Structure 1
Amino acid sequence: MSFEGKTAWITGASSGIGAALAKEWAARGAAIILSGRDEARLAEVAASLPTETLLLPFDVRDEGAMEAATDKATGWIGHVDIFVANAGISQRSPAVDTAMQVYRDIIEVDLTAQIAATQALLPHFTARGSGHLMFISSIAGKVGVPMRTAYCAAKHGLIGYADALRGELSQSGVAVHVVCPGSVATDVSRNALTADGSKRGRSDKVIDNGIPPQEAARRIIDAVEAGEREIIVAEGMEQAMGESRRTPDAMFDQVAAMVAAGYMEKMQAED
């Protein structure tokens, strides 16, 4: 698969995995659309890229701004070929101490907003009959990890949405990929919310010693090229945890076969 001439739109692109994916795809010839809340940091990422770049800063929780950005993204070159739902925020607090608003905030950013952005783009992808939708979940989207109950709920939900969507789109030419990173050396822990919703402000040793973002991005894009539907990017115990909960390809194929056999049409005919 060549990414030359393709357009990749990445949310949460001002740092970490999002910025690394932008650099890797640009190095492989793709035009890049960068989204996030901090326009200045997006501009810094754009300045490091060798290909055409469009900045679309917005808060993923603002559906009006997101829909306006969708119009600009699809109209820029005329097509979006890859969409990466990457914006997210983590958590470090025990459930018993965590305010309900923290659950609402994390689920809104990590799940609901990613679904809304995808829904806005779906007509563009299905009309073209091609493209890649990529959802950045986590090993914590496969395994319940203590101190991350809200984060796990959101990331498990994102995988559920993506898996169901993959089945629906299996005859359309649009590919759906779920990415489950383990510890990657980003600011995810430093920016995580604590029990009262404030930022933690410090990192974890396991994160600081994690996979370098550019290495994670290379692995992810290589897996997309290989057609992998569920992509686990982790090492050691985290990799073992993710692999132990990996959805077998045979299950994805079974769902696709149901759709090919008319499952959706039969369900709709019964309504």
Structure 2
Amino acid sequence: MAEVKMSSLRTVLQYLLSIFGTALLPLAIPWAIYLICKGRRFRSLEGKVVLITGASSGLGEALAHAFYACGCKLILAARRSKELERVRDELVNLKDVRNNSVPAILTLDLGDVDSMEEKAATAQAIFGCVDVLVNNGGISYRGKITDTTMSVHSKIMDVNYLGQVALTKGLLGRMIERKSGHIVTVSSVQGRISIPYRSAYAASKHALQAFMDSLRAEVAHEGVDVTVVSPGYIKTNLSLNAVTSVGNKYGVMDDATENGLEPSDVAGQIVRAVRYGEPELTVAPTMPKLAIILRAVAPALYFIIMRRRALKFEGLPQPKTCHPPKDSKLNEFLTNIS
């Protein structure tokens, strides 16, 4: 099955390159120059104060280990204080890491948007400032749009968007005063594209992506960097803790999540992006990266794939109006990706 998918992937890559290769060629030289120049921006993280939300498990916990290994002073934030204490104790007991600081714990709920200003002030008082904010906390969702209540939409937007915006704004003023700071936001590949039965989640991540893109432009001259991370599926409990269309716990480990990226690998790439001041980072296998490109350069084809995916999920036959282009190789790709 994997060989079939790789063969199909090569087919569609050749198909896209034959169409768009010439048009994209002029971008190759400036992109190469950017890659060379960004290597000169390496900065040390030792002694930097890093606030990580969602630090009680999963990617947040892996990020705590990665930043702590760099000599950072950590503020671990999440709802579950007991789990934060566990992560803190594990860090201070590491024998192969030279870091004498003891991570601080900040209990917060991103869904309580109005409390974020106070939480930001508390965080800044711990070590005197926050150098790096890592917006990592969030919730996922599985459901059909027609079945999803507005309260579920509101909850997901509060946690995944409004709470993170409020916390960012609470810390931003001091960063601008100091002419130094870094906002790192863990979004998702679904902040770049949308797939069926993830509407509320994708909408919240699209909103977050748009906000951070605007913020990056507005604060660049103030000495504040903004990095948006778009990971694919990560091997965490995110799908288990996802909410359904009526707000219940999903409680299922998706195959894609179970076979996802290792949190430690993703965390390592995020730390590297912070060191180099990268504005954007996509951490995902080839297929999701290809989907992002496909949505931009061949949207009609992308829509066909998503439509087929939705019909397949529902167990419905393909309608006559849903036939892909008459290209045998492309048909093979569509069959295997959707």
Structure 2 equivalent of residue 158 of structure 1: 208
Q: Per-residue CA shift, 1:76-113, capped at 9, x if unaligned?
A: 12121100111111111111211111111101110011
Stretches of 4+ aligned residues off by more than 4 angstroms? 243-246
Corresponding residue SS for 1:202: coil
Structure 2 equivalent of residue 145 of structure 1: 195
Q: Per-residue CA shift, 1:98-148, capped at 9, x if unaligned?
A: 111111110111001111111111111101101110111100000011111
Deviation, 1:64, is: 5.0
State the one-letter code of the partner of 1:169. Answer: V
Structure 1 range deviating more: 162-171 or 224-233: 224-233
Structure 1 range deviating more: 180-189 or 66-75: 66-75
Q: Find 2:281's aligned residue among 231, 239, 242.
A: 231
Structure 1 equivalent of residue 168 of structure 2: 118
Q: Find 2:130's aligned residue among 71, 74, 80.
A: 80
Distance in 2 (CA, whole Å) between partners of 1:135 and 1:121 is 14
Structure 1 equivalent of residue 77 of structure 2: 35
State the one-letter code of the partner of 1:61. Answer: G
Q: Per-residue CA shift, 1:12-36, capped at 9, x if unaligned?
A: 1111111111110000100110111
State the one-letter code of the partner of 1:168. Answer: E
State the one-letter code of the partner of 1:159. Answer: Q
Corresponding residue SS for 1:214: helix
Structure 1 range deviating more: 159-168 or 43-52: 43-52
Distance in 2 (CA, whole Å) between partners of 1:57 and 1:245 is 39
Structure 1 equivalent of residue 119 of structure 2: 69
Corresponding residue SS for 1:241: helix
State the one-letter code of the partner of 1:203. Answer: M
- Which of the two has higher C-alpha Rg? 2
CA spacing shift, 1:150–1:64, aligned 2, 3 Å: closer
Distance in 1 (CA, whole Å) between partners of 2:274 and 2:295 is 20
Structure 1 equivalent of residue 86 of structure 2: 44
Corresponding residue SS for 1:111: helix
Q: Per-residue CA shift, 1:33-71, capped at 9, x if unaligned?
A: 011100001111111214421100121222454333222
2:180–2:224 Cα contact (<8 Å) kept: yes
Distance in 1 (CA, whole Å) between partners of 2:106 and 2:295 is 36
State the one-letter code of the partner of 1:24. Answer: A
Aligned residue pair count: 246
Taking structure 1 as the reference length, the TM-score comes to 0.87
2:76–2:84 Cα contact (<8 Å) kept: yes
Distance in 2 (CA, whole Å) between partners of 1:65 and 1:46 is 24
Distance in 1 (CA, whole Å) between partners of 2:295 and 2:221 is 26
The reply to whether residue 202 of structure 1 matches residue 252 of structure 2 is yes
Deviation, 1:226, is: 2.1
In structure 1, list runs of 5 or more residues that go unmatched. Answer: 247-271
Taking structure 2 as the reference length, the TM-score comes to 0.70
Distance in 1 (CA, whole Å) between partners of 2:151 and 2:77 is 25
Higher helix fraction (1 or 2): 2
Identity %, equivalent residues: 40
Distance in 1 (CA, whole Å) between partners of 2:63 and 2:72 is 11
Structure 2 equivalent of residue 26 of structure 1: 68
Deviation, 1:2, is: 0.9
Distance in 2 (CA, whole Å) between partners of 1:210 and 1:239 is 14
Deviation, 1:245, is: 6.2
The reply to whether residue 105 of structure 1 matches residue 155 of structure 2 is yes
Corresponding residue SS for 1:49: helix
State the one-letter code of the partner of 1:25. Answer: F
Distance in 2 (CA, whole Å) between partners of 1:226 and 1:81 is 15
CA spacing shift, 1:46–1:206, aligned 2, 3 Å: same
Structure 1 equivalent of residue 107 of structure 2: 57
Deviation, 1:158, is: 0.2
2:119–2:167 Cα contact (<8 Å) kept: no
Deviation, 1:75, is: 1.5
State the one-letter code of the partner of 2:46. Answer: E
1:103–1:150 Cα contact (<8 Å) kept: yes
Deviation, 1:236, is: 2.7
Corresponding residue SS for 2:134: strand
Q: Find 2:139's aligned residue among 77, 89, 97.
A: 89
